[in-house]
Amino acid sequence: MTSPEFVELPEAPFPRTVYRTPNPEFEVSECYEISIHPVPGASDPQRCWIVREFHGYFEEATKTYHYQVETLHPNEPRHFMTFEEVMKAANEQILRRARDGFCFLFTKNYRNAPWYNRFEIILPSGNLKELP
């Protein structure tokens, strides 16, 4: 049996990083980085996605992002999801972190400087308010 081929998304919606502050560049800032990944060698090409999460902080003085711990990384096939399921699960994880106070969301923007977009997560709805 050959492994299914995985197609890279043209504009990956992840990783997404949530901070407690809207301006993490001004101090050492605690954050969670949430991403989705296909599992190489998964037996079902439809159910081959997982959500991963790292907890760490960004240190502007050294321009360094430090991962302290991987807080979510399922590795058993029973946790593999379809693309639709993994998108929903990742967004639920972002809302979970927002309820813990990490309500400033940063997403990558590959088209325009400063190369990211910033949002405030409005609770309890989970709606996003774009920040300048």
Q: What is the pTM of this model?
A: 0.81
Assigned domain for 73 exists: yes
42 class by beta-carbon count within 10 Å (0-12 exposed, 13-18 middle, 19+ buried)? middle
Q: How confident is the model at residue 10 (pLDDT cuts 50, 70, 90)?
A: very low
pLDDT tens by residue, 86-95: 999 999 999 9
pLDDT tens by residue, 27-45: 888 999 999 999 999 999 8
Domain total in the chain: 1
Domain with 70, as residue range(s), is 16-131
pLDDT tens by residue, 99-119: 999 999 998 877 777 778 889
Assigned domain for 74 exists: yes
